Amino acid sequence: MTEALSRKSEAMSSTTDGSAARRGWRLPDEAGILIMLIVVFAIFCAMSPNMRTLSNGLVLLLNGAVIGLLALGQTFVLLIGGIDLSTGANIAVMGVLVSLLMAHGLVWPLAILVTLLAGTAMGIVNGIIIQYFRVPPFIVTFSTMGVASSMALIITGANSISITQSGFAFMGQGLLAGIPVPVVILAVMAILAGLLLSKTILGTHIYATGGNREAARLAGVNLAVTTITVYAISGFCASLGGIVDTARLMVGFPTTGLGDELFFSIAAAVIGGVSLFGGIGRVQGAMIGAVLIAVVSDGMNVLNVSSYWQSLVIGVIVLIAVIFDTYRRQRAGKPLSGTLRSLFRTHMFRRSS
Amino acid sequence: MAVERLVAQGIVKRYGAATVLHGVGFTLHAGAVHGLVGHNGAGKSTLLKILAGAVAPEAGTILLDGSPVSFVSPSAAVAAGVACVFQELSLLENLTVTQNLFLAREIATAGVLDKTAMRTAARQHLSAYGLGLSGDEKVAGLPVAQRQMIEIIGALARNARVILLDEPTTALERAQIDRLVETLRRIAREQNVAIVIVDHKLDEIFAVCDHVTSLMDGRVVLDAPIAGLSRDALAESIIGQQEAARLHKQPGAGGSVPTATPSIARAIPKAEPILAVRGIGASRGLRDVTFDLASGEVLGLYGLAGSGRSRLLRTLYGLEPVDQGRMQLRGRPYRPHSPRAAMRAGVAFVSEERKANGFIPDFDAVRNCTLPILGRHAWAGVIRKQEAAQEAESVLQRLRVRGNIHAPLVRLSGGNQQKTLLAKAVLQRPAVLLLDEPTKGIDVGTKAEIHAFIRNLAAASGVAVLVVSTEEEELLAICDAVMIMQRGHCSGQRCPVDALDDIALRRLALDPAPGPASAPQADHAREGAL
């Protein structure tokens, strides 16, 4: 059946070959999700005047910042065809770690630095196990998720740790030119990540690894370096998320990040067009996905919808995105509109037969 | 003889413009073993796939026990009683022998497995054919020979009336082959099934078959009972000498065709060898491979399926480990442990499996080409895209890649994809270029362009090229000399192409070589014949 599908798409591609000989600008793959974001936002605005205020907009982004950071790291991992389930637990450990370091007298900038290094190291451990022991990433990061969340509880004895160094609050509560610092951090990180992926050798190698691992190896891509690096980046982003979360509350909770964060971060990347199969997707998309999730959460809050509904709504959106991604994969390299068309066509046929 | 179990008539199969089978017909008898022989690309595998329901023919009929059948899938063929044991074994390693034998037809009452009944039945089947297994063993731990027998027994247990075997002896050792041959004959007789066996080795064909059909370029050239058939006649039919003699209008072709020893000269390379390989071997598939490759020459490597041609290239590119022997590249010891190491040493490789590992499907031609050479066009890891693209585009233009080179490469035609892969290899400025089937599945026009490019590359820039191809014409067109590979072995003897034609090449590769000119290493294979 899949053979028949691929043969069909091959036949299609050969017929389009002639017409595809022009270069030129085409609609980016993220256009669809951007339109969806605008529509959803407009609907919420129409339903509630509170939604339309600038301050609500900033709160919305502030609340979405940590998920955005996780989604950023997750994007790198998904691009090589992996997955990192340990990011939520990473937040908990790193939040506790940064609090403990400060409680033991380390000045806060130094505590942040050590925590970032620790988060990166955790990612490197994930990457090394995945690369050299050939364990599937799902299993490895599933295990380290368990280890990390337990570690946070063991270290603290399940107690929260208050933070006394008031300077640290800047990381979570500060403003830069009127914009919350976490949002600024996310924006800077997103730009750096986007440049890394589009401008550097490493970025190209990440896409190549996810596109066809074996072909990338034959072309001389160092798979060990790309694999370990993406998990390190994911670990770094998660620890940054842990620092921001802790700074917003000025308390290190051993259970932060163990709720919906992991789910929402993967959701953001996937909704934004990052393929779960690797090789396709951009930072821009993941960020739009993160904002969409933030808008849905915030909008439902403003409309007084029970928060129990949030995961349900986002789950449905993710399902739609993944079904779409699966179709796109079968038609690798075809433009978005064609994917949509084939999606509909297949189902029309199925119904008629 | 016995009843006609399966009759195939006028089977036609086309792949694109190429017709692989031109109306092939043959008859299988119950209780007989039927050999299917032919050279590379003669259409044996395609015919087997059609009988097994894996491929649908464009025309033709298949009668199974007198009634017409047309299989839409392999499972439909199995249900009708036609089972195929392919080269890749299809047992589930995580299950036991018994579980495999009863897969999808488990004995159960109300959904609960009757394990005792299955175990008893499995043991009966296993002991009937001399497999001393209890049935509780996991398949993962069993050797290949036993797995193969389990598959055959599984087919019998599913009431197969026709069993198809695709090169069943390639992975087996001498004693195992003898045992398989004996068992197959017994099964055919006792179970009254028709067995089809595709095999390259003539001694095995003579040992096991009652009847043999020889294919050449998709047509039946010989269809006869084995009794009374001479080895030479069968070899001729595979090599295609009579056919070719007629075409080439050379009445004395039999005499003038260079047969092994006299015409093979250990040609002395013009220059110092750039790559010297001495007696390398690997635990699986390669033994005592020795040859020299000089700068500016195009050297061909020819052999039958399973002779280790591709494995040798993969070994040279660091994809397979080397157990023994040594290699020198540009005077320095060379033993790559990864493709990256091989590339750094100046070796480039174009894979046979274009779709599987040739390129990144979503990358465009330019990006695919520049992937290995980004380091040349970057500063502190940041790529100078314009500059890299310009270099790639100039080579792509020289190769005349048609179609949009800025669209995902997967959307270009096979020929343009192949040209892109060639461009990728050339951009690495290699000293040694390894090409595995450089024009597989490509139209004639593009093929000629690629051939010209390869010749040019060797002549103009002094690249040493090693080409593996199953197409005799291709090797004769682009190579200076050809080496033969047999059962993982290559002696380094070169046959200059001037002294060769396609018939001579096939004769050299056929194992064991017929007539007085047989190569010495083929002798041991002949002993077990009968």
Chain A contact residues (CB < 8 Å to B):
13-14, 16-17, 20-23, 199-202, 204-205, 207-208, 211-212, 214-222, 279-280, 332-334
- Please determine, for residue B523, whether its predicted confidence score (pLDDT) is greater than 50: no
CA-CA-CA-CA torsion for B200, B201, B207, B213, nearest 10 degrees?
A: 30
What confidence category does residue B249 fall into, taking pLDDT thresholds of 50, 70 and 90?
Answer: very low
User: What pLDDT was estimated at residue A33?
Assistant: 85
Rounded average pLDDT over B423-450: 91
The 10 Å Cβ neighbour count of residue B257 is 19
B414 touches chain A (CB under 8 A): no
Please say whether the beta carbons of B366 and B406 come within 8 A: yes
The tokens for A24 are 């030129």
- Residues from chain B that touch A280, judged by Cβ atoms under 8 A, are 362
Q: Is B372 on the interface with A (CB under 8 A)?
A: yes
Residue B374: closest CA among chain A residues belongs to which residue?
Answer: A201
What are B268's two structure tokens? 């002395």
Helix (H, G, I), strand (E, B) or coil at B327: strand
- The whole-number pLDDT of residue A10 equals 40
CA–CA separation, A84 and A99 (whole Å): 24
Is the link from the previous residue into B512 a cis peptide, with omega within 30 of 0? yes
Residues of B in contact with A212 (CB under 8 A): 357, 359-361
The Cα angle at residue B512 between residues B506 and B515, in degrees rounded to 5: 85
Burial class (CB in 10 A: 0-12, 13-18, 19+), A299: buried
- Give Cα separations from A336 to A75, A85, A328, B128, B224 (angstroms): 20, 29, 8, 59, 57
**Residues whose CB falls within 8 Å of the CB of residue B36, separated by 6 or more in sequence, listed in order:** B44, B47, B48, B196, B197, B198, B199, B212, B213, B215
Q: What is the mean pLDDT of chain B?
A: 84
- Which chain B residues are closer than 8 Å to A16 by Cβ? 411
Give the CA distances from residue B471 to residues B89, B250, B301, B311, B432, in Å, rounded to whole numbers and listed in that order.
Answer: 27, 22, 11, 18, 22
Q: A–B: how many Cβ contacts below 8 A? A: 98
Q: In chain A, which residue's Cα lies nearest the Cα of B344?
A: A220
B54 touches chain A (CB under 8 A): no
Choice among A267-271, B199-203, B433-437 with the minimum mean pLDDT:
B199-203
Cross-chain Cβ contact B404/A22 below 8 Å: yes
> Which residues of chain A neighbour B363 with C-beta distances below 8 Å?
207-208, 211
Per mean pLDDT, which range of A135-149, B465-479, B512-526 is the poorest?
A: B512-526
pLDDT for res B155? 87
A221/B371 touch (CB, cutoff 8 Å), yes or no: yes
Q: Which pLDDT belongs to residue B62?
A: 93
Q: Do the chains contact at B411 and A212, CB–CB below 8 Å?
A: no
Nearest to A215 among B359, B404, B411 (CB): B359
Residues 330-359 of B with CB under 8 A from A: 338-340, 343, 349, 351, 356-359
Q: What is the pLDDT of residues B218-233, one digit of tens each?
A: 899 899 999 988 888 8
Nearest to A68 by CA among A289, A280, A316, A326: A289
Q: Chain A within 8 Å of B406 (Cβ-Cβ)?
A: yes
**A197, closest residue in chain B (CA to CA):** B382
Pick from A22, A23, A332: CB nearest B410: A332
The answer to whether B403 faces chain A, any CB pair under 8 Å, is yes
The stretches in chain A having pLDDT less than 50 are 1-24, 350-353
**pLDDT mean over B153-170:** 87
Place of tokens 């040019």: B456
Q: What is the pLDDT of residues B258-272, one digit of tens each?
A: 333 333 333 444 567
CB contact under 8 A, A333 and B357: no
| Residue with tokens 């000119």, as numbered in its chain | B517
Residue A202 Cα, gap to closest chain B Cα (Å): 7
pLDDT bin (cut points 50, 70, 90) of residue B366 is very high
- Report pLDDT digits (tens) over A217-271: 999 999 999 999 999 999 999 999 999 999 999 999 998 888 888 999 999 999 9
Q: Which of B15, B355, B386, B410 is the best residue to mutate to test the A interface, defined by the most A CB atoms within 10 Å of its own CB? A: B410
CB contact under 8 A, B383 and A212: no
* B376 CA: distance to closest CA in chain A (Å): 11
CB contact under 8 A, A201 and B411: no
Summarised one tens digit per residue, pLDDT across range A129-177 is: 999 999 999 999 999 999 999 999 999 998 999 999 999 999 999 999 9
As a whole number of angstroms, the distance between CA A322 and CA A275 comes to 8
Where do we find the tokens 């000269």? Answer: B265
Q: What's the whole-model pTM score?
A: 0.79
Nearest by Cα to A192 from A76, A25, A32, A281: A76
- For range B163-176, the mean pLDDT: 82
Best mean pLDDT range from A108-112, A274-278, B128-132, B163-167: A108-112
**Mean pLDDT score, B90-98:** 87
Write out chain A residues lying below 8 Å of B385, CB-based: 199
